[in-house]
């Protein structure tokens, strides 16, 4: 089996940054990802708060980061990690994937998260038929059509603005009476004249072959309203991928996120965690910072072991 100093599970912004830092410190390291590098970062339509860029898409930034990372580390895309086994040997971890097995002295978990679902009636039935979780993936197909964006955070408002710019007729639906997104995004929603329905949740998604309407429930009065639409985009948060962390006995908080210290260390020696799978602020720049810290922590622990 191939042996490494550091294996990073996940090639999102944090994982790629960890690979850059680990490689520049002279360690032999490998990044494994079950899909393509970037994860959910590939779906971000545009960012205006990433240092160094006035405006950049997630896909463009991932391409730049990937090109830099592969100069410093190995990257295996489309290789799913199935199991991590802790041992008492010098190479403390055996990593089994759907393609191979590896040994490593340390592990950095950058496993990310997935879209949280509404669990509304009709949601599963109409996935890919008008129900979408990715504006950049599917927005083009809804130009000139009536759609709703469900959510009230940064991602929901960013994607609503993106869809509006594409030419879709967007209505934002939020379960509370105010957004939790950054103020400048809320101001942009007002400036663009995007319609907002507050205090409403989606009870049912209806249609024949494709989505034709949604049933909205007023959270204050309980009144149901049938709203004709052609599509529904959902951005209501994320579920952390902690399956591998649980295998290793890593401590999680009540929301299933990995608990880490200021050096990105978990309660398991030589296991670190970064990005959306951890407790903390879900921001691209934060994941990158955590990747740098974790790789440096791993390097120092290897030197002192």
Domain boundary among 215, 234, 253: 234
User: Does residue 147 sit in the same domain as residue 163?
Assistant: yes
Query: Can you give the residue range of the structural domain that contains 271?
Result: 2-114+238-304
Q: How far apart are CA 11 and CA 109, in angstroms?
A: 10
User: Does residue 83 sit in the same domain as residue 228?
Assistant: no
Please tell me the predicted confidence (pLDDT) of residue 129. 94
Active site residue 63: no
- Residue 46 CB contacts under 8 Å (≥ 6 apart), including other chains: 55, 56, 57, 158, 162
Model pLDDT for residues 86-101, shown as the tens digit of each residue: 999 999 999 999 999 9
Please tell me the predicted confidence (pLDDT) of residue 240. 95
Model pLDDT for residues 109-133, shown as the tens digit of each residue: 999 998 899 999 999 999 989 999 9
User: Does residue 221 sit in the same domain as residue 167?
Assistant: yes
CATH no. for residue 277? 3.50.50.60
Which H/E stretch holds residue 286?
Answer: helix 284-304
Q: How far apart are CA 124 and CA 128, in angstroms?
A: 9
Q: How far apart are CA 217 and CA 221, in angstroms?
A: 8
For the chain, list residues with pLDDT below 50. Answer: none
Active site residue 278: no
User: Does residue 22 sit in the same domain as residue 43?
Assistant: yes
User: Does residue 94 sit in the same domain as residue 188?
Assistant: no
Q: How far apart are CA 224 and CA 203, in angstroms?
A: 8
Q: How far apart are CA 289 and CA 286, in angstroms?
A: 5
- Exactly one of 98, 137, 261, 269 is catalytic; name it: 137
Going by C-alpha positions, the residue among 112, 45, 36, 113 that lies closest to residue 75 is: 36
User: Does residue 182 sit in the same domain as residue 124?
Assistant: yes
Q: What is the dihedral of CA 277, 84, 252, 233, to 10 degrees?
A: 30
Q: How far apart are CA 205 and CA 207, in angstroms?
A: 7
- Exactly one of 63, 138, 256, 301 is catalytic; name it: 138
DSSP string across 88-153 = SSSS-EEEEESS-EEEEEEEEE---EEEPP---BTTTTTBTTTEES-HHHHGGGGTTSEEEEE--S
Q: Give the number of domains in the chain.
A: 2
211-218/224-228 β-pairing:
antiparallel
- Exactly one of 63, 134, 146, 218 is catalytic; name it: 134
Active site residue 146: no
Terminal CA-to-CA distance of the chain, rounded, Å? Answer: 22
Please tell me the predicted confidence (pLDDT) of residue 42. 87
Domain boundary among 234, 253, 270: 234
Domain boundary among 179, 208, 234: 234
* Residues 113 and 277: beta-carbon distance below 8 Å: yes
């Amino acid at each position: 089996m191939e042996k490494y100093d550091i294996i990073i599970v996940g090639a999102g912004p944090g994982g790629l940054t960890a690979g850059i830092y680990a490689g520049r410190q002279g360690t032999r390291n490998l990044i494994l990802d079950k899909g393509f590098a970037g994860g959910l970062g590939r779906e971000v339509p545009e960012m205006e708060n990433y240092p160094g860029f006035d405006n950049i898409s997630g896909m463009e930034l991932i391409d730049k980061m990937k090109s830099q990372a592969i100069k410093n580390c190995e990257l295996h895309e489309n290789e799913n990690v199935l199991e991590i086994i802790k041992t008492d040997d010098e190479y403390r971890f055996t990593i089994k994937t759907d393609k191979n097995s590896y040994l490593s002295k340390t592990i950095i978990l950058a496993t990310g998260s997935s879209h949280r679902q509404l669990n509304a009636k009709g949601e599963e039935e109409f996935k890919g038929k008008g129900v979408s979780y990715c504006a950049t993936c599917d927005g083009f197909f809804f130009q000139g059509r009536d759609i709703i964006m469900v959510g009230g955070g940064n991602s929901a408002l960013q994607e609503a603005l993106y869809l509006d710019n594409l030419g879709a007729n967007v209505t934002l639906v939020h379960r509370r009476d105010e957004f939790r997104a950054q103020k400048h995004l809320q101001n942009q929603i007002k400036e663009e004249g995007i319609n907002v329905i507050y205090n409403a949740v989606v009870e049912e998604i209806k249609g024949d072959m494709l989505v034709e309407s949604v049933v909205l429930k007023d959270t204050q009065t309980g009144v149901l309203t049938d709203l004709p639409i052609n599509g529904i985009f959902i951005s209501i948060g994320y579920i952390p991928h902690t399956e591998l962390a649980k295998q290793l006995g890593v401590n999680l908080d009540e929301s299933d996120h990995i608990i880490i210290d200021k050096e990105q260390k978990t309660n398991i020696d030589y296991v670190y965690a970064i990005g959306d799978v951890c407790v903390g602020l879900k921001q691209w720049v934060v994941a990158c910072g955590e990747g740098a810290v974790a790789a440096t922590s791993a390097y120092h622990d290897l030197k002192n072991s």
